């Protein structure tokens, strides 16, 4: 499965919208990354640490699914179906994929906030520097581990490995190194739509509302048409979650705006439909790992929307200032990238080679992946992201010497 899923610095705004806009005017006029004519970005008074924590919770949901809620490679890692290894826990773990949908709601909120007032180039650079350093490291690390003697998983071809470094392996049909990278392809399409429709012309409340309305209508029509290209671009099964997150940001920025709440409501209504459609198998599919309940899926989707609303809108929750939550948010993306395949390798070694109890192996594996995520954050993301940003924003020397008109 993933997200998310990646996110920039998050902030909480307790200032009334009109006052906030007025306070930002001067800063926006002098900001090199601001779009003329756009509404100013909301003031950044503090980090939404609780949202960082929620991101890690969503990642752990997906992790639990990969380790204890599915067949295939998880069966291979444990030596038998997780339904027998974890008779009770597996019935809960099968709902873990919904962590991805929660990631997408968070992403809608965060991308709307981070893209507000930015130039198209500034937005693109911020996304590239956030996504690629840890992703490149994860792709190379997983490939290297899979190539070790005694590891029972195969590597991709050299050509497909190089293609994976672009993050566009799925649309061009190359074998994937990371199973979770399908969610990055979903995120990239969302970034492209948002960049072209909102960031490029400049973000305003009216433009963002129009984007949400047109994307919702387009996604519904694309699904009804059955046209593969339209469904690929407009992503009807995932669009409602991003749109719901954008609506929550509008509420965060402007207060209890009925239109913004309407965007959230429509996102939730369509979101639960597509979640049920995607996770509840056909009634005749007797081969499924564990049968899920449509009611439980609806409840979890609803709780996901409610959780994002709580950590961004309720002062008592959004104002939580536990510093460890910031680190939790920083670890989420690298953890999400490496936990699946490398986790199966660790499970295989601890359970089948060392014969440790599965109830000890499960937390040990998740903990080891969190430690690896911390190493990737400290040794890869922190040093490489600023360098990549300087490289992408550098002005070529010849261009610098050209006289400006």
CB 184 within 8 A of CB 167: yes
The predicted pLDDT at position 36 comes to: 52
Q: Report the percent of the chain where pLDDT is more than 70.
A: 84
Contact (CB, 8 A) for 329 and 55: yes
1-25 burial, b at 16+ Cβ within 10 Å, e below that, comes to bbbbbbbeebbbbeeeeeebbeebe
The answer to whether the Cα torsion of 313, 316, 317, 321 is positive or negative is positive
SS3 of 97, please?
coil
- Residue 364: CB partners within 8 Å, gap ≥ 6? 346, 350, 356
Is the model's pTM score more than 0.85? Answer: yes
Averaged pLDDT for residues 250-260: 94
24 pLDDT band, cuts 50/70/90, is very low
Q: What is the pLDDT of residues 79-91, one digit of tens each?
A: 998 989 999 999 9
Q: Scanning the structure block, which residue is given the tokens 């180039």? A: 121
Indicate the average pLDDT of the chain.
Answer: 86
Q: Which residue has tokens 């050509």?
A: 159
Mean pLDDT score, 351-367: 95
Would you say residue 23 has pLDDT above 60? Answer: no
Mean pLDDT value of segment 332-354: 95
Report whether pLDDT(42) > 80. Answer: no
Q: How confident is the model at residue 21 (pLDDT cuts 50, 70, 90)?
A: very low
Which of the residue ranges 122-131, 150-159, 178-187, 215-224 would you say has the lowest mean pLDDT? Answer: 150-159
Q: What integer pLDDT is reported at residue 74 of this predicted model?
A: 85
In this model, does residue 105 exceed pLDDT 60?
yes
Residue 25 has pLDDT above 50, yes or no: no
Bridge partner list, 118: 34
- Segments making up each domain of the chain, as ranges: 17-392
Evaluate if residue 63 carries a pLDDT over 50: yes
Q: Could you give the angle at which helices 382-393 and 120-146 cross, rounded to 10 degrees?
A: 140
Per-residue pLDDT, 400:
52
How many residues are listed for the chain in this entry? 405
Question: What's the CA dihedral at 210, 213, 214, 218 to 10 degrees?
Answer: 170
Round to whole Å and give the CA distance between 275 and 270.
9
Report, as an integer, the average pLDDT of 376-399.
88
The residues with which 34 forms a beta bridge, in sequence order, are 118
User: Would you state the pLDDT for residue 41?
Assistant: 55
Q: What is the pLDDT of residue 318?
A: 78
Residues 6+ apart with CB under 8 A from 305: 105, 244, 248, 264, 267, 268, 271
pLDDT at 120: 95
Query: Quick check: 375 pLDDT over 60?
Result: yes
**Would you state the pLDDT for residue 258?**
94
Q: What is the mean pLDDT of residues 172-193?
A: 96
The whole-number pLDDT of residue 47 equals 74
User: If residue 164 lies in a helix (H) or strand (E), which one and from where to where?
Assistant: helix 158-164
Q: What are phi and psi of 118, to 5 degrees?
A: -90, 155
């Amino acid at each position: 499965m993933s997200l998310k899923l990646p996110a920039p610095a998050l902030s909480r705004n307790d200032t009334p919208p009109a006052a906030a806009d007025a306070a930002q005017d001067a800063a926006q006029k002098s900001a090199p990354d601001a779009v003329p004519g756009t509404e100013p970005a909301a003031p950044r008074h503090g980090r939404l640490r609780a949202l960082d924590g929620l991101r890690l919770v969503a990642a752990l949901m997906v992790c639990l699914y990969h380790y204890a809620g599915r067949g295939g490679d998880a069966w291979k890692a444990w030596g038998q179906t997780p339904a027998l290894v974890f008779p009770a826990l597996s019935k809960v773990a099968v709902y873990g994929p919904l962590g991805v949908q929660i990631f997408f709601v968070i992403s809608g909120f965060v991308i709307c906030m981070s893209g507000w007032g930015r130039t198209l180039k500034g937005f693109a650079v911020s996304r590239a520097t956030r996504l690629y350093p840890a992703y490149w490291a994860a792709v190379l690390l997983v490939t290297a581990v899979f190539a070790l003697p005694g590891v029972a998983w195969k590597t991709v071809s050299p050509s497909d490995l190089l293609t994976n470094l672009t993050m566009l392996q799925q649309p061009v049909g190359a074998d994937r190194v990371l199973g979770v990278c399908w969610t990055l392809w979903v995120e990239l399409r969302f970034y492209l739509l948002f960049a072209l429709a909102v960031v490029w012309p400049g973000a305003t409340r009216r433009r963002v509302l129009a984007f949400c309305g047109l994307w919702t209508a387009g996604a519904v029509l694309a699904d009804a048409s059955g046209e593969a290209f339209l469904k690929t671009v407009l992503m009807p099964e995932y669009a409602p979650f991003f749109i719901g997150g954008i609506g929550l940001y509008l509420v965060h920025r402007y207060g209890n705006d009925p239109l913004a709440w309407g965007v959230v409501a429509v996102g939730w209504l369509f979101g639960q439909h597509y979640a049920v459609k995607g996770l509840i198998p056909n009634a005749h599919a007797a081969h499924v790992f564990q049968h899920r309940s449509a009611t439980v899926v609806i409840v979890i989707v609803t709780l996901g929307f409610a959780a994002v609303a709580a950590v961004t809108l309720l002062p008592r929750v959004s104002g939580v200032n536990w510093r460890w939550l910031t680190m939790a948010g920083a670890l989420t993306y690298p953890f999400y990238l490496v936990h699946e395949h490398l986790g199966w390798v660790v499970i295989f070694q601890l359970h089948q080679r060392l014969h440790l109890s599965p109830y000890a192996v499960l937390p040990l594996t998740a903990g080891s992946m969190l430690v690896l995520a911390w190493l990737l954050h400290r040794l890869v993301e922190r040093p490489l992201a600023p360098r990549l940003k300087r490289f992408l924003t550098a002005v070529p020397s010849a261009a610098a010497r050209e006289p400006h008109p």
